[in-house]
Structure 1
């Protein structure tokens, strides 16, 4: 792999279009079908026409639905509010404090209790042969507000600007798309969490990576997504889900790399995952404020012959 040069990270050379290279395949769906960037743009434009002129709290859990709604919100000139706390009380706080609207798309698994005033829109349809507008988004345009968990006090909001998200996606290629051919990203984490937002949603929009969609509740769901995609496969997950995958003892196609975050990863779990799944495990440290920082788990390999 040829490392990206420093010039690739400057705003003047980054592609600030809403969807990078829209003629490529971007998503693979549970029924085996695929969506291109133009399909994504068509769905986003159609959804944008139905949105109010207000910030959006996305209740979508499926990464395809979430990405469509994220881009539709940008097309509408608004931003999305991302909170890992999905309780009705917290969602209503966001609505009240930001004059926002909760939005869910049909076909989504509903959260336990939809907040009052939730807007339920038709499932996004990306069919067609036209090439819809793919606007260039200003580098300093605020497109998302991400909130900390509030575990040490009140949740704190951090604005995410379009250009910074694009640059972070490019920089992350060495971790998430390290091969000569485009990687397939399979995520077991939700897109409304900063971890999933960066590694799945932003990678799908800003890079050449393909992202698998579908249910993510159980190891059998992850096995299905792995089976729908092609190598090189990168599994985006957490230590808890890695442990569940090992315990399920399922046959899975080759996994090039496992990326883990959101909780401390023990050396024993990393080693067992590598040995059982014949892969390489990498841990990410990060925070809502600054995003993700790579830290490969290589300590146990240093003394190998």
Structure 2
């Protein structure tokens, strides 16, 4: 693909932007960026985010992608990256921080790509903090390019002209890959928005100039399946950040008209496997990726997009064809009365109950299982609903009811947020979480 041609790259502010327009915008912005080693790319508009990331790479600046947009998180990271500035469409609330105002470019002229060092670290993304303090993961443009080409090829969408619509911010690795780098290195088209409410998403898909692939999360799908109107112009659904249950996948397929496909990965590895939830239990690695078992028994990923093998945080079973099943993390396993269960699986069963909008299980300091739920059901109804699927010892003894669970924009619940929630709910009872949720992509 000729990057200077008129092939569509993005829909920005309702207008189609070509690849040549993109590189013209990148070149113009690169000449204006402050001379600093790092920037926090906090652009909310996905096209502006992409232009800013590539312009920074042209200036050999590294984009820092925090796990959350809260200023306290940014200030914490800033201590380790002195000289970083903030790039976004409007001024940060915190006074005294250097920031660059990202304005909408002209997108009218055409240009070739500027010189880019494809092997140099271009992005440092931080894990979501669901297992504790966020950690930095550096990746080069070449890593994203190779990974994107493997992903879209394995998913069979490499040469299709489809609009990628994401409900996940581009600062998160899942949103970054699917909605920015997949279009950059294929014929897919970037959509610059991030509609949140179900009807807004449906209308965006309905009026899109091309058939749409929706990259979303199980949390969002639970909202989308409540709609009554038809879902026209939807060509596919991709889900990540949490396990998609067969029940939710089935409801999605019936109501939205597309069988969802999950992708699997992490901030450290990027995505490297997929499965169609209603047809496959095992994950299929992308072509060019394979899992190997190390001497310590842990699985590692070997792939063309990674400079070296990366050990997985999850325990997996690998079959003879290279496919794998995810068993969870050791710290995700809980043991009560001599029996073992996965908190991830317990959470999935809880959220699958009719009448439960959201929920999370945790182990109290006394060793008993408890839960926090958003539901109109009472405690007895929830336990009865779980009983056919969960051993008696893993039925939550205490159930707390709340109006909302403080998940981030990708549907994840950070360990610290859950701890704060439990402390607020019942400080006198001494509730504490013992097993953090996996930081799976």
Q: Give the shorter-chain TM-score range.
A: 0.7 to 0.9
Structure 2 residue 102 is the aligned partner of structure 1 residue 88: no
Alignment check: 8 A CA contact 2:158 2:188 kept: no
Look up the match of 1:9.
none
Look up the match of 1:36.
18
**Equivalent position to 2:35, from 53, 65, 87:** 53
Look up the match of 1:255.
234
Look up the match of 1:274.
253
TM-score, normalized by length of structure 2? 0.58
SS across alignment from 1:247: coil
Look up the match of 2:268.
289
Residue 151 of structure 1 deviates from its aligned partner by 2.7
Alignment check: 8 A CA contact 1:214 1:225 kept: no
Alignment check: 8 A CA contact 2:246 2:277 kept: no
CA 1:49 to 1:96, structure 2 compared with 1: closer, same or farther past 3 Å? Answer: farther
Alignment check: 8 A CA contact 2:4 2:20 kept: no
Query: Greater CA radius of gyration, 1 or 2?
Result: 2
CA 1:127 to 1:301, structure 2 compared with 1: closer, same or farther past 3 Å? Answer: closer
The one-character-per-residue Cα deviations of 1:91-135 (angstroms, maximum 9, x if unpaired) are: 1122231121111125xxx77x44641414151313333x33413
The one-character-per-residue Cα deviations of 1:75-96 (angstroms, maximum 9, x if unpaired) are: 2211101122221111112223
Rounded to whole Å, the distance in 1 between the matches of 2:158 and 2:124 is: 32
Look up the match of 1:119.
99
Look up the match of 1:181.
160
Identify the structure with the greater helix proportion. 1
Matches within 5 A, 1:42-191: 42-54=24-36, 55-99=38-82, 100-106=84-90, 113-114=93-94, 116-129=96-109, 131-174=110-153, 178=157, 181-191=160-170
Matches within 5 A, 1:7-46: 20=3, 22-30=5-13, 32-46=14-28
> After the TM superposition, which of the residue ranges 198-207 and 258-267 deviates more from structure 2?
198-207
Look up the match of 1:10.
none
SS across alignment from 2:190: strand
Alignment check: 8 A CA contact 2:5 2:18 kept: yes
TM-score, normalized by length of structure 1? 0.83
Look up the match of 2:400.
none
How well do the aligned residues superpose, as a CA RMSD in angstroms? Answer: 2.4
The one-character-per-residue Cα deviations of 1:187-246 (angstroms, maximum 9, x if unpaired) are: 111100000001111112222210222242212332233134344421100011111111
Work out the number of aligned pairs and report it: 279
Alignment check: 8 A CA contact 2:238 2:263 kept: yes
| Structure 1 gaps, min length 5 | 1-14
- Higher RCO (CA-CA < 8 Å; seq separation 6+): 1
Alignment check: 8 A CA contact 1:47 1:124 kept: no
Residue 291 of structure 1 deviates from its aligned partner by 0.9
